[in-house]
Amino acid sequence: MRHLVKGRKLGRTASHRKALLGNLATSLIKSEKKSIRTTLAKAKELRPFIEQLITKAKHAYQRERSGAFPAGHVDVHQRRMVGRVIHEKAVLQELFDVVAPVVAERNGGYTRIIKLGQRRGDGAEEAIIQLVDFAPAQDGAVSASRRKKTARPSTKKAAPAVAEVVAEAAPAVVEETVAEVVESVEAPKPEAENEVVNTVEEVAEAAPETPESTNENTEEAAGENTEEAQS
């Protein structure tokens, strides 16, 4: 009968899941910064897995330093236990000779998980898992600079200042507007003056011609009447 499997299945069978965790542990120890980037679910499953391997390496280092083995001998049993999941000899040597001495005084909690949010594409939650003792020191400079960039200016202080500027500028604007209106009403446009002068000249030129034309028409009409009477 199949019972519930403890932990996350990660969409794999037991053998494939074990191989996956072994490969992730190998990549974590092999990396120069002792840090890898993966999904959040895999990082949470890798954390207890890799910490058990580091604990075995730490115990082997402590026993070798305490004189439990003859000079020049190492704890072969612990190396064989870890070698079941880490198959690269160079990575195995890195774990026992480099990582174990650094974490010898730490009682667990060798790793740290940093969430990165969702990745593009499938939207899976990403995270960074790293060894605490090999991580770069954090001084808070990055977070402080980000806070300065994202800080929004206060609108409460800006509102009174804007009101004062508007109150000071309003009388000047009103005076300028009134002066422009008065000038436009009092000062006639030069174009209108030219039109009036031209109209007066045309009327003056046309006025003398009107009586002459009237007299000529009267004389012609009188001559025609005389001729008719004589006939």
H, E, C per residue of 124-168? CEEEEEEEHHHCCCCCCHHHHHHHHHHCCCCHHHHHHHHHHHHHH
**Residue 231 and residue 26: Cα distance in Å, rounded?**
145
As a whole-number percent, the residues of the chain with pLDDT over 70 amount to 61
Counting every residue, how long is the chain?
231
The domain locations on the chain are 14-134, 158-230
Query: Are the C-beta atoms of 90 and 26 separated by less than 8 Å?
Result: no
**62 versus 140: which is more confidently predicted?**
62
Decide if pLDDT at 186 tops 90. Answer: no
Assign a CATH topology to domain 14-134.
50s Ribosomal Protein L17; Chain: A, (3.90.1030)
Confidence of residue 72 (pLDDT cuts 50, 70, 90): confident
Confidence at residue 3, expressed as pLDDT on a 0 to 100 scale: 83
Model pLDDT for residues 139-175, shown as the tens digit of each residue: 666 555 555 566 666 666 556 666 666 667 666 666 6
Helix, strand or coil, per DSSP, at residue 113 = strand
Amino acid, single-letter form, for residue 210: T
User: Closest Cα to residue 84, out of 5, 2, 21, 147?
Assistant: 21
Q: Say if residues 115 and 40 touch (Cβ distance below 8 Å).
A: yes
115-136 pLDDT, tens digit each: 999 999 999 999 999 999 998 7
Average pLDDT over residues 97-103: 94
Band of pLDDT at residue 176, cut at 50, 70 and 90:
confident
Number of neighbours of residue 47 by Cβ within 10 angstroms: 16
